[in-house]
Amino acid sequence: MPDKRLIWVGVALLLAMALFLFWGLRGKVWFIMELRATKLAALLCVGIAIGTATVLFQTLSHNRIMTPSIMGFDALFLLLQTGLVFALGSVGYAQLPAFGGFVLEAAVMVAAAVALFGWLLKRTRQDLQLMILVGIIIGLMFRALTSFAQRLMDPSEFTMVQGAMFAQFSGVDDGALLASAVVLLGILAWLWPRHAVLDVMALGRAQARGLGVAYDWLQFQILCTIAALVSVSTALVGPLTFLGLLVASLAHSLMRTHRHSLLLPAAALIAALVLVAGQTLFDRVLQLQSTLSVVIEFGGGMLFLVLLARGHIR
Amino acid sequence: MMKMSELSYSVSGTDILRDISVEIPARGMTALIGPNGAGKSTLLHLMSRQMEPMSGQVVIDGQDLATITAQARALKLAVVAQHLNIASRIRIRDLVGFGRWPHARNRPTAEDRAWVTDAMTHFDLIALQDRFLDEVSGGQRQRAFIAMAYAQDTEWLLLDEPLNNLDLHHARSLMARLRDMADHQGKSIVIVLHDLNYAISWADHVVALRAGRVAFEGPVQAMATGENLSNLYQTPVAMDHVDGRPFARYHR
């Protein structure tokens, strides 16, 4: 029997999905439906990936104001993408198959993230503040390197990269979407049996090890997972800094529990709900284009400030 | 019996512990004492393999701790650390419940639940069981962690300065509970203590560390002399007897 609160969020999500698909449907119905379904699938993938990744990252870092993007995960992804365009040229980059290209990018991203953040966690394990600061600075460095590489490009290559720089929910590529969905499902299938051991890991490294959990190995695996999840969402729509913080925080205050069997689905569902409902509102009611990410980032950013100002995060 | 042989540990070239070879008897209470920075907590961490020694080994009942799995280790010894902070929002009952993880994983049986209730009863936590860990006092939190280690039901129980946040009543009842576990449940308890009088009046065995080496070790009665303790702390300690029990005077 799933938790009642989860069911409510699930029902709300289904309603939002139905509204998104069927509201204001006229003209070439099947053509529009197909467009909308693709977009809806992308929104769901991104929501689930970001919600899950943020809860996982907060569990690993034992800190409730952390998101993978504060630590520069998505900056790393953009750097990799810019690097690819830079190395292959716009023609070579455009010729990469969407599916294979995505898998390649995700794999490189996972390898790079694990090398970097694994090292960072190890070096600064004693000092969480230090780890946050180093993460922010490394993220800045990635962004600086990215824009430096972009200066060196010719204009056609630059337009190629520019598309990836800002969160956009329209114009999602079918091949990338399929690859994302496959990666996402694989990750969720791997993650689900581990929800209970995540509860133990949230107790902290020393406690978890004392209870017989192979903490370092699991932490390494989950870092890989987070990197892959961030790749999924960044590849589909671009960087979203504060959405994860927003939904992880909502999930925590809704569920009021330490149990990942509730927290993970709650965060995933809430993130999907925020994205789908927000996109419906913007597309159908306000008739605006591609400003959803701005509003979400604004809301999430405000929440971040509130959390910081309150001083302690529960 | 826990046998440590030639244990060494260093941090960036500075020796914290050097050539520690000690045997700690099973079924009893052993106090680890010594001045600040002597290496007591480090030794406790090496015993529980929270840290790995640079050289040497720890053997419990003929088994080298380095060669058994983390799971097997968690069934053999439980640890209560000195700094207890948890970021996740968790209730006291759930925390104590994690003590059964090595036995039950995430499928606790009726027996596991009975253990948890038992542990909370012993450490005076029943009234607090539904409170969140970040809503109780430092001493109550400490008791919750000790109850969790108790619920782990291991032969060895290692505690790092467990009296730190406890008031007189709870400090004394914790020591009485540990004593009872050693005497009647056959537990082996290793405890880092700063208060000399708690150490000499409750423990059977003492291991004194100074500057990363063993200063002295053996039965409390024989080893806790004014001369030994004065040398250990480089401070005058006089031994008295009050009601037939040793009593150390050092506070003035």
Which candidate in A62, A64, A129, A211 is best for mutational testing of the B interface (most B CBs within 10 A)?
A211
On the question of pLDDT at B144 being above 70, the answer is yes
Which pLDDT value is given to residue A127? Answer: 57
Residue A184: closest CA among A9, A44, A49? A49
| Total domains in the fold of chain A | 1
On the question of pLDDT at B242 being above 90, the answer is no
Q: Which domain holds residue A295?
A: 4-310
Domain boundaries, position B147 = 2-249
Residues of A in contact with B85 (CB under 8 A): 204
Query: Which residues from chain A sit within 8 angstroms of residue B71, using beta carbons?
Result: 212
Q: Buried b / exposed e across A164-196, counting CB within 10 Å, b at 16+?
A: bbebbbeebbeebbebbbebbeebbeebeebbe
Mean pLDDT (whole number) for A215-239 = 84
3-state secondary structure of B14: strand
Cα A192 from Cα B189, distance rounded (Å):
38
- At residue A13, the pLDDT reads 94
Percent of chain A with pLDDT over 70: 90
User: What is d(CA B94, CA B133) in angstroms, rounded to the nearest whole number?
Assistant: 10
The more confidently predicted of residues B35 and B243 is B35
- Please determine, for residue B250, whether its predicted confidence score (pLDDT) is greater than 70: yes
pLDDT, one tens digit per residue, over A263-278 is 999 999 999 999 998 8
Give the CATH number, domain containing residue B31.
3.40.50.300
Q: CA-to-CA distance for B127 and B129, rounded, in angstroms? A: 6
Mean of all residue pLDDT scores within chain A: 82
Residues B208 and B215: beta-carbon distance below 8 Å? yes
Which of the listed ranges A244-253, A303-312, B30-39 does the model predict with the highest average pLDDT? B30-39
Q: Is the pLDDT of residue A132 over 80?
A: no
Please give the Cα distance from A68 to A79 (Å, whole number): 15
pLDDT band at A188 (very low <50, low <70, confident <90, very high): very high
Residues of B within 8 A of A212 (CB-CB) are 69-75, 101-102
Q: Is the pLDDT reported for residue A55 higher than 70?
A: yes
The model's confidence at residue B106, banded by pLDDT at 50, 70 and 90, is confident
Q: Which band of pLDDT confidence, cut at 50, 70 and 90, is reported for residue A232?
A: confident
| Best mutation target, B88, B92, B157, B158, to test chain A (most A CBs within 10 A) | B88
pLDDT surpasses 90 at B86: no
List the single range of A12-26, A76-90, B235-249 with lowest mean pLDDT.
Answer: A76-90
Going by pLDDT thresholds of 50, 70 and 90, the confidence category of residue A168 is low
Residues 6+ apart with CB under 8 A from B252: none
> Residue A190 — very low, low, confident or very high, per pLDDT cuts 50/70/90?
very high
Q: Which residues of A touch B (CB under 8 A)?
A: 58-59, 62-64, 196-197, 199-200, 202-204, 206-207, 209-214, 252, 256-258, 314
CA distances from A276 to A2, A172, A175 (A): 23, 15, 21
Sign of CA dihedral B219, B244, B172, B35: negative
For residue A36, pLDDT over 70 is answered with yes
What CATH number is attached to the domain comprising A198?
1.10.3470.10
Q: What is the pLDDT of residue A289?
A: 62
pLDDT of the residue at A117: 67
Alpha carbons B240 and A222: distance in angstroms, whole number: 57
Mean pLDDT of B31-60: 91
> Domain total for chain B?
1
Q: What is the mean pLDDT of chain B?
A: 90
* pLDDT for A266: 95
Averaged pLDDT, A40-57: 93
Q: How far is A196 from chain B (nearest CA, A)?
A: 6
Residue A138 scores a pLDDT above 70: yes
Helix axes of A98-123 and A73-95: crossing angle, nearest 10 degrees: 150
Among the partner residues B73, B78, B94, nearest to A258 by beta-carbon distance? B94
pLDDT above 90 for B97: yes
Q: Tell me, what's the pLDDT at A129?
A: 61
The percentage of chain A sitting over the pLDDT mark of 90, rounded to a whole number, equals 22
Alpha carbon distance B156, A160 (integer Å): 62
Region of poorest pLDDT, from A190-194, B62-66, B177-181: B62-66
Q: Cβ-count burial of B217 within 10 angstroms (0-12 exposed, 13-18 middle, 19+ buried)?
A: middle
User: pLDDT per residue over B159-206, tens digit each?
Assistant: 999 998 889 999 999 999 999 999 999 999 999 998 899 999 999 999
Q: What is the mean pLDDT of residues A126-142?
A: 74
Write down the pLDDT at residue B224.
87
Q: Which helix (H) or strand (E) holds B180?
A: helix B168-184
